[in-house]
Structure 1
Amino acid sequence: MLDLDFSARIRALRTTFDDIAAVLDLPRLESEIADLETQASAPDLWDDPDAAQRVTSGLSHRQARLRRVRGVEQRLDDLEVLVELATEAEDADAAAEAATELADLEKTVQDLEVQTMLSGEYDERAAVVTIRSGAGGDDATDFAEMLLRMYLRWAEKQGYTSKVLDTSYAEGAGIKSATFEIDAPYAFGTLSVEAGTHRLARISPFGSADKRQTSFAGVEVIPLLEEATEVDVPETDLRIDVYRSSGPGGQSVNTTDSAVRITHLPTGLVVSMQNEKSQIQNRAAAMRVLQTRLLLLQREEEAAKKKELAGSITASWGDQIRSYFLYGQQLVKDLRTGHESTQPDSVFDGEIDGFIAAGIKWRSLEQASAES
């Protein structure tokens, strides 16, 4: 006789799912979708392209989120039926299918539960990620390129749309820096826990002495904000340089000066874009990212003033967040959460969900502790 006593696990899943659905407020989500659908069907929608983009993007993101939640709900219903049929028919194949589906649903619901912790002001936005090589020579620039591939592979496995906006190649191996966008619901809230300094320790493939080399790379994550256009940036505060986009080894990608570099003189912030063939498009994209950074800088300064008035809060992220060991023990370890993996190859191939989930939970606990 088959032993299919999954009832306790399924009940636990149901309870967790019901809590998630309550937090997500599905009736409100459905109401927002209906309102956005009405706006999207307006004949004059594209008279204002920026507003139209906000409407269509907001609608797409909310529809995707609702589909995911409703899909999990349907899978839970189907699982209960499958377990019942397998038990009645004593069908070993159906029982194995039910066990596999239950384990997969437990992971899916856990991922949904983590997403409910993303309640920050900008968490539901798309993300713009910049990776910069740090100390370590060729190893550091190679490490920066490894991180770039890691995040793009993660986005690909999630089914998210990613777009590389700018890449600065190193003279030797790897890249000096790269900026890319991930357009997905809660991309910023999800990836913001990856911001900080990443450290790589390995036997350098670029040296002849077979010595251990430590190198660093910085990851910056900012939300993509429509409201950033409200930031007033006088032309006199900008230095705008144009140049030809280039690939590895200096090979020309364009034959015209379409790449754009904008420097904000008062702050020293620099944004480069070379993904588009048009100089106008690259300039618009660079301005959008620059305005977003200026808006966040302004709000950080305001928050710092409030923090100074309110007194110090001990909870903080710190700078170095994760170490990657590619020699001896073969380990990737997050220094904040303690989460680790003994499969660094899988991590660099985009298997970072465990690190992200642990980071979101850690941040949620730190914030709760600070507020109390």
Structure 2
Amino acid sequence: MATTDFPAEIAQLRSTFASIENVVDVEKVRAEIAALSEQAGAPDLWDDPESAQQVTSRLSHRQSDLERVERLGARIEDLEVLVELAGEEDDEDTRAEAERELGSIKKSLSELEVVTLLSGEYDEREAVVTIRAGAGGVDAADFAEMLMRMYLRWAERHGYATSVLDTSYAEEAGLKSATFEVKAPYAFGTLSVEAGTHRLVRISPFDNQGRRQTSFAAVEVIPLIEQTDSVEIPESELKIDVFRSSGPGGQSVNTTDSAVRMTHLPTGIVVSMQNEKSQIQNRAAALRVMQSRLLLLKKEQEDAEKKALAGDVKASWGDQMRSYVLNPYQMVKDLRTEHEVGNTAAVLDGEIDDFVDAGIRWRAAARTVAD
């Protein structure tokens, strides 16, 4: 069996780590942490609970980012010491431990390297995710609910806070649509590669003849609006309807007309909110999501103009980006990256990091080709 060339491997680790440090800009992160810590220590911080939550959450995540980079640098140093020790003592057990740690560090570096690819204009933002049932009837509605659970479980695994803004239940089962926030730095850049049409193939639990059914659901991911963004919407451009919130099967969950449906008349964009307790809260949440969608629409229009000037670039996501096949075999496959796994249950339980990482690398490669 070939022995590992540890000096060459460690040199490569150091080179990759140096590139990551350069992109992450550790000194800038430290400066941001210092500024956020000063804000977090202000005596009037919690006079504005929403702002305070943003500051403390951002501080926690940036501290975690810095710790992750520093810990990885320390592990590379420790690996070098471990290799020296194995050589001095000619100890096979220590050498085997070094082999395992080398593999583990490579994996951690690869995961951290993916984060450095999130350099889009809004990639640092929190995300608003909307899932809509497509073709396939009740199976599509059930699939939409499965996808929502998948993303919420993914966020839970990473310790990301989420907030469900709106759920529109289908008559028989599942969801017509649902909208939720993922409150973590880079949530938009990370989850934006999940946007597109998802397809499910399975034996339908709603078909009494046990036939195989294909159904579809659409995933939309937009960056959360921030106070510094200039997206002003004149009142004259908005139509606002209020109605009574409802739960599964049409069951009323609120005895007052607190739910809000907001329509942007020039674009036809519609946002519904019903998960807050008051009409005022639902209206504020709807306006925030509406501003986020208009911000992204503006960006897409600007990008389209740039593409028109640059010529046609073949980097389309296509109508269908991922298939979840539960019958006649078990497989989840991304049609853009070709990444696939056979453990469908784990994927639908939120284990989608490999798909997300592959998607981010695919997008970065596509942008490089386009440039």
TM-score, normalised via structure 1 length: 0.90
Q: Distance in 2 between the 1:100 and 1:173 partners?
A: 47
User: Could you tell me the percent identity over the aligned residues?
Assistant: 66
Structure 2 match to 1:259 = 259
1:121-172 per-position Cα deviation (integer Å, ceiling 9, x unaligned)? 1101111110000000011011111111111111111121122111111111
How many Å apart are 1:181 and its aligned residue?
0.9
Structure 1 match to 2:182 = 182
How many Å apart are 1:51 and its aligned residue?
5.9
Alpha-carbon spacing, 1:257–1:74, altered in 2? closer, same or farther (3 Å):
farther
Structure 2 match to 1:332 = 332
Alpha-carbon spacing, 1:180–1:93, altered in 2? closer, same or farther (3 Å):
farther
Structure 2 match to 1:163 = 163
Structure 1 match to 2:247 = 247
Unaligned segments of structure 2, at least 5 residues:
none
Is 1:37 the counterpart of 2:37? The answer is yes
Structure 2 match to 1:129 = 129
How many Å apart are 1:291 and its aligned residue?
0.7
**Higher mean C-alpha deviation, range 155-164 or range 81-90:** 81-90
Structure 2 match to 1:77 = 77
Is 1:23 the counterpart of 2:23? The answer is yes
How many Å apart are 1:97 and its aligned residue?
5.5
Q: Distance in 1 between the 2:5 and 2:345 partners?
A: 37
Q: CA contact under 8 A between 1:228 and 1:292: conserved in structure 2?
A: no
1:272-294 per-position Cα deviation (integer Å, ceiling 9, x unaligned)? 22222222222111110101111
Other structure's SS at 2:36 match? helix
Structure 2 match to 1:197 = 197
Q: CA contact under 8 A between 2:276 and 2:282: conserved in structure 1?
A: yes
Alpha-carbon spacing, 1:341–1:313, altered in 2? closer, same or farther (3 Å):
same
1:182-210 per-position Cα deviation (integer Å, ceiling 9, x unaligned)? 11121111110000001111121111233
Structure 2 match to 1:215 = 215
How many Å apart are 1:26 and its aligned residue?
0.7
**Higher mean C-alpha deviation, range 38-47 or range 14-23:** 38-47
Q: Distance in 1 between the 2:250 and 2:206 partners?
A: 21
TM-score, normalised via structure 2 length: 0.90
1:289-317 per-position Cα deviation (integer Å, ceiling 9, x unaligned)? 10111122122223323332332222222
How many Å apart are 1:45 and its aligned residue?
5.0
**Higher mean C-alpha deviation, range 224-233 or range 337-346:** 224-233
1:311-351 per-position Cα deviation (integer Å, ceiling 9, x unaligned)? 22222222211111111231111111111111111111111
Alpha-carbon spacing, 1:155–1:54, altered in 2? closer, same or farther (3 Å):
closer
Q: Distance in 1 between the 2:300 and 2:315 partners?
A: 16
Q: How does 1:360-371 map to 2 (within 5 A)?
A: 360-371=360-371
How many Å apart are 1:257 and its aligned residue?
2.8
**Higher mean C-alpha deviation, range 255-264 or range 122-131:** 255-264
Structure 1 match to 2:236 = 236
Other structure's SS at 2:321 match? strand
Unaligned segments of structure 1, at least 5 residues:
none
